[in-house]
Amino acid sequence: MTYFWMCLRDQHDHRLVLLAGLVCMTGTLCAVLLMRQARDSYPDRSIRWLAVAGLTAGFTIWATHFIAMLGYLPGTAIGFRPWPTLASLCLAAAATWLGFLLALRHRQRSMQALGALAVGMGISGMHYVGMMALALPMRITLDWHYVVLSLIFSVVPLYPAMTLCLDGHGYRSSLKSASLACLAVVLLHFTGVAAIRLTPERLSVSSDLILSSQAMAAAIAGAALIVVANCLIVLITSRHNREAIHASERDFTLLARGISDYAIYMLSLDGHIANWNAGAERLLGYGEAEVVGRHVSIFHTPTDRARGNPAKILTMALESGKYTGEGWRKRQDGSSFWAHFSLELVADADGRPIGFAKITRDMTRLKEDQDRLAKLTAQLDTALDNMHLGLCLLDARHRLVLHNRRFAQMWDMSEEDLAPGLDLDRLATRALAARLPSAMDGGEHQHALATMMCEAVRSADAEPTIGEFDDNLVLSIVSRTLPDGGLVATFEDITDRRRSEAHIAYLASHDALTDLPNRARFGDWMEAELARAHAQDRHVALIAFDLNSFKEINDLHGQAVGDRVMMELSARLNAALHEGEMVARLAGDEFAAGKPLASDSDLDGFVARLAACFERPFDSEETPIVLSARFGIAVAPMDAETPEALLNNADLAAQRAKASVAGNIAYYESGMDRAARTRRQIAADLRMAIVRDEFHLLYQPQHRVASGDLTGYEALIRWNHSKLGVVSPDVFIPVAEETGEILAIGQWVLRRACSDAAAWPDDLTVAVNLSAIQLMQPDLVRHVAQVLIDSGLPARRLVLEITESAIIADKARALHVLRQIKALGISIAMDDFGTGYSSLDTLHAFPFDKIKIDKSFLLQSSTSHQAVMIIRAVASLGRNLGIPVLAEGVETAEHVALLAQEGCDEAQGYYYGMPMQLPLHDDLDQACL
Ligand code: C2E
Ligand code: CA
Ligand code: CA
């Protein structure tokens, strides 16, 4: 090291050393500026700047070296060999250019280090090759320690010089970079010179090959000229740049002054902030002094930075001239805002890019609004998509704007089918094609459906349109006008509702058990048929029929069997129908059938078909059941003109059919009407008859046949009607049984008969008729007992007469009641024996006290042998069973003779006495007294 200082102090011309330093400083500064120019230029220009920079640096260093060499005073005349001199120049220029290229191209620290190494090695090479160019009468040897030291000295300061040059901005960093480079060159030079050891020797080179110091000075001057020229270029261009920037700054200031909502500032090409406006200060919080010179990435979030976004944005802006974007940015205080920014490339007067103008605006509010709107839209979408109504929105020109998912599902349409902008007609056609391909025949039906749908949507703000597109597609379509003239239409699938309505309507119009139409449905049907028949001047027949003793089937076999039989009958009736006919079940065992008539034979055939349904027995599990019915027929318009009147008249005819012996079919006759009215009148008046005291009892005597003795009387009721006169019990008792009035009447009769009879001689009985309805009365036994107590009539003197049909209805119960009555000591007589069932079974089942042979047998006895045979059979039956037999209808002495002959015990009839009012007999009256 001492040697180094000694060499510098003693062996150099200090003026030339100073000059070398000056050249070096100027040249390296120039090279730094050129490098920066290369850095800030587009790649195609950058390479040119780079070449100039390399050349400048190379020449500078070379010139520095040789000026210093000229100042080197080894004590001998110096010359320079031309070839090594040239080689050293080329080496310096090439190495610096390569080093710069490496460092600039890749902009990485490692590459910058590599660049510094290349430059350092290059100039070291230049130094030692340059040494070889020295022509001295001495032998030059190198001290390798100094050589290594010189290499290190040259490379080490070059690295920071390189980074400062490429990363820095402004003159200060240029100056620093240039100074460091100079330091490297100077250190290298003097350490390199110090490495030289000279031993005197004869000059071995011919002197004409040696450049003189003068020639060398000229070469150096040339090199220096190049450096100066380069300096000039740099100066001019940087002035240009400055001018451009000055101009844009002026514009920028003008702009910035007017606008404080925007942050407006400029960036260098690599993203360093060049200036700053008030808006920027307001928005980002930094003052101008704090921020100019810093990199724009300070506003980015750490994630943004990690992703390299700041650099990406700059690159994109550089490539396309302009870049607009949005993103979160940070203020100085750490808070964030949503920035909308644009980055525009700014060029100088020559069109060379010099930086970017950046405009940033705070869009946080807008962003929040947008986010809210997006959320709201999403919610609205969800709501729309979860609606059970299909919905579509059309614009004022009736083009599809939006639809919900249900709408697409409803019509089996895909999203592609429902592209916005589709007009309503095409929408309707497409929807129908998707959902009802079978309806899309291209014909009238298709057209009608599409028109219906379009009209429903267009008829906005009206009542819902019910669109029946198909059995499986019934829609309720509602449309509303929107303020902009568009429409919003909703589609509700009401197919199921329609179906259940139809089902309910069906249930309401059909009988639940048999599924036949019910009374209401039949009435509607008749009404329609009558109207049509009226228009066509044709007839309509109504056939009313009810089943004989269906109640008994229910009672005997149980409800389940009854239902089965009813269902089978209904099926048969239904199967018997032809086109245009109807059978309905009106009530329990009442039916009606209707048919518009083309001819009279039509009706006969229809009735025959209905009657045929009863021919075969109905299979119950136990025994085959035979059903019969009586048919009443009324024909419109002769018999009646309304369904009700027609049915009423057919009913009347059916009742007649019951009574008729000839057959079970009867046609309505006008007289039936009157009878029915009378019957209704009776039913109505019966209710008041007891209160009005219109009933009274007649008593008909009963005598012993053999002795002719009076045994008792049968009580027979009479009704003295205010308008109709005396009404026969044969007329009003069935009506009273229907209305239930029989219970009150029966009680009145029993009470009156018992109290009357209580006044008679003790050996006379009183017989009271008991209706089947009375037998079913729950408190009958208690009531009878009470009457006996109240009247004081001994039970043995009371006979209750019942018919067999009253027992058959509910045999077990009837017999149970009868046993209880008999247990009171009351006698039970079987009335009207021989008609109806006349079953021996009933006689065996209960110990009757008397059998009354119906009067029809005795009355026919003179003409009918069979009647006599029956009287004989019953008389002998009574004898065998030990039950006394009474014959009714004894009118003549012959009758009495017959009875005596056949062995009947008692008799009753006009022969013995008519039913009479009290007082009965003179002798009886006396007895009563
Ligand atoms: P029934 O019990 O068979 O009564 C006998 C009927 O035959 C009576 O008719 C009587 O007037 C009539 N008759 C009596 N002897 C002769 C005769 O020699 N020749 C003819 N041709 N007829 C004779 P009536 O009084 O009109 O009663 C008719 C039916 O009314 C009775 O038939 C009975 O079933 C019912 N009935 C009458 N009174 C009552 C009553 O108080 N309660 C109930 N539940 N039914 C009654
Ligand atoms: Ca009787
Ligand atoms: Ca009788």
Residues 138-151 pLDDT 10s: 777 888 888 888 88
- Nearest ligand 1 atom to the CA of 717 is 38
Ligand 1 near 171 CB (within 6 A): no
pLDDT in tens, 338-355: 999 999 998 876 678 889
Contacts of 182 (CB under 8 A, 6+ apart): 21, 24, 25, 28
pLDDT at 825: 96
pLDDT at 662: 43
| pLDDT winner (highest mean) among 14-23, 436-445, 597-606, 702-711 | 702-711
Distance (Å, rounded) from C-alpha 866 to C-alpha 429? 87
Mean pLDDT of the chain: 86
Q: What percent of the chain has pLDDT over 70?
A: 91
List the structure tokens of 63: 């010139």
Q: What average pLDDT does the segment 582-590 reach?
A: 92
Distance (Å, rounded) from C-alpha 374 to C-alpha 387? 20
In the predicted structure, residue 152 carries a pLDDT above the cut 60 = yes
In the predicted structure, residue 48 carries a pLDDT above the cut 90 = no
Closest protein CA for atom 20 of ligand 1 = 889
Distance (Å, rounded) from C-alpha 80 to C-alpha 361? 67
Contact 487, 453 (CB under 8 A): no
Ligand 1 near 264 CB (within 6 A): no
- Nearest ligand 1 atom to the CA of 801 is 2
Ligand 1 near 769 CB (within 6 A): yes
Distance (Å, rounded) from C-alpha 859 to C-alpha 430? 90
pLDDT in tens, 294-335: 899 999 999 999 999 999 999 999 999 899 999 999 999 999
Higher pLDDT, 818 or 550: 818
Closest protein CA for atom 21 of ligand 1 = 889
Q: What average pLDDT does the segment 810-814 reach?
A: 86
In the predicted structure, residue 33 carries a pLDDT above the cut 90 = no
Grouping H, G, I as helix, E, B as strand and the rest as coil, residue 666 is strand
pLDDT in tens, 518-550: 999 999 999 999 999 988 888 999 999 988 878
| pLDDT winner (highest mean) among 149-163, 666-680, 820-834, 915-929 | 820-834
Which residues share a beta bridge with 829? Answer: 801, 850
Distance (Å, rounded) from C-alpha 523 to C-alpha 648? 12
Grouping H, G, I as helix, E, B as strand and the rest as coil, residue 141 is strand
Distance (Å, rounded) from C-alpha 744 to C-alpha 722? 20
Biggest CA-to-CA distance, the chain: 208
Is the bond leading into 637 cis (omega within 30 degrees of zero)? yes
Task: For residue 702, report the distance from its CA to the centre of ligand 2, in Å.
Answer: 11
Give residue 925's pLDDT band: very low, low, confident or very high (50, 70, 90): very low
In the predicted structure, residue 39 carries a pLDDT above the cut 50 = yes
pLDDT at 583: 96
Ligand nearest to the CA of 771: 1
In the predicted structure, residue 232 carries a pLDDT above the cut 60 = yes
pLDDT in tens, 406-441: 999 989 999 888 999 999 999 998 888 888 877 666
pLDDT at 187: 86
Give residue 83's pLDDT band: very low, low, confident or very high (50, 70, 90): confident
Distance (Å, rounded) from C-alpha 64 to C-alpha 666? 150
Q: Which residues of 609-647 are buried (b: 16+ CB within 10 A; e: fewer)?
A: bbbebbeeebebeeeebebebbbbbbbbeebbeebeebb
Amino acid in position 740: G
Task: For residue 801, report the distance from its CA to the centre of ligand 2, in Å.
Answer: 6
Q: Which of 636, 649, 648 is nearest to 537 (CA)?
A: 636
458: how many CB neighbours lie within 10 A of its CB? 14
Higher pLDDT, 275 or 754: 754
Q: What percent of the chain has pLDDT over 90?
A: 40
pLDDT at 660: 47
Q: Judging by beta carbons within 10 Å of its beta carbon (0-12, 13-18, 19+), is residue 555 exposed, middle or buried?
A: middle
CA distances from 249 to 40, 170, 266, 391 (A): 18, 17, 9, 58
Pocket residue to mutate for ligand 1, from 686, 713, 716, 858, most atoms within 8 A of Cβ: 716
H/E element holding 846? none
Task: Give me the sign of the Cα torsion angle 438, 441, 443, 447.
Answer: positive
List the structure tokens of 513: 């058990």
pLDDT at 926: 44
Give residue for tokens 């008909």.
700
Give residue 622's pLDDT band: very low, low, confident or very high (50, 70, 90): low
Full set of structural domains in the chain with CATH = 2-238 (no CATH), 260-368 (3.30.450.20), 387-500 (3.30.450.20), 510-668 (3.30.70.270), 680-908 (3.20.20.450)
pLDDT at 439: 67
346: phi > 0 → left, psi -120 to 50 → alpha, else beta; which? beta
CA distances from 73 to 11, 50, 54, 136 (A): 5, 36, 30, 11
Grouping H, G, I as helix, E, B as strand and the rest as coil, residue 143 is coil
Closest protein CA for atom 42 of ligand 1 = 769
CA distances from 707 to 397, 760, 908 (A): 115, 20, 14
Higher pLDDT, 548 or 258: 548
In the predicted structure, residue 864 carries a pLDDT above the cut 70 = yes
Closest protein CA for atom 23 of ligand 1 = 889
Q: Which DSSP symbol is given to 63?
A: H
Closest protein CA for atom 25 of ligand 1 = 716
pLDDT in tens, 676-707: 778 888 888 998 999 999 999 999 999 999 99
Least confident piece of the model among 78-87, 738-747, 879-888: 78-87
Give 600-642 as a DSSP string: HHHHHHHHHHHHHTTTSPEE-SSSEE---EEEEEEEETTS-SS
H/E element holding 665? strand 665-667
In the predicted structure, residue 204 carries a pLDDT above the cut 60 = no
In the predicted structure, residue 208 carries a pLDDT above the cut 70 = no
Give residue 6's pLDDT band: very low, low, confident or very high (50, 70, 90): low
Distance (Å, rounded) from C-alpha 744 to C-alpha 735? 13
pLDDT in tens, 8-17: 666 667 777 7
